[in-house]
Amino acid sequence: MRITHEQGDITTAAVDAIVNAANSSLLGGGGVDGAIHAAAGPRLLEACRELRRTTLPEGLGVGDAVVTPGFDLRADWVVHTVGPNRHRGETDPELLSSCFRTSLGLAADAASRTVAFPAIGAGVFGWDAEDVARIAVETVRVWDEENPAALHEVRFVLFSAEVRAAFARALDG
């Protein structure tokens, strides 16, 4: 599997699935979550409300993931995952790793070959970009070893040059 990184807008990524750094309500928010909801259109919110009404009445747990269609996005699928919030004491790196691992599995289950990730947790959830990059890259590499040929490409699409540099260092290390 090829692992790449770029600075850009994940909502315009030409991939089969994009990963949303969602909040547990799945009903939109700020940052990446808000941008994905805005770009996907109102049907994404409707799909997330249906998930809450049926299978996830308490919301999505930290480290878990769920898939919806991409609706108005270029991507066919959105994999929503809830990152750990360091400001709330959610400091276990395994929770962050679970976001990446679970999202990869669901993307592969949806027959995706290419997946784009943001830097889950590296925004308002308070994780250091270096830690996120290291955990993300390590998790993707291990997942690929355990699931050979399941995905063709994982692309980290990062909002800032600083975060992109952290991922470049993690990929080189």
Phi-psi label, residue 89: left if phi above 0, alpha if psi -120 to 50, beta otherwise: left
Catalytic residue list contains 33: yes
Rg (CA), the chain: 15
Q: Which of 71, 76, 11 is nearest to 47 (CA)?
A: 71
One-letter amino acid identity for 23? Answer: N
Q: Which amino acid is present at 138?
A: E
Strand-strand pairing, 77-82 and 17-22 = parallel
CB 116 within 8 A of CB 17: yes
Catalytic residue among 33, 64, 76, 131: 33
Q: Which residues are designated catalytic?
A: 33
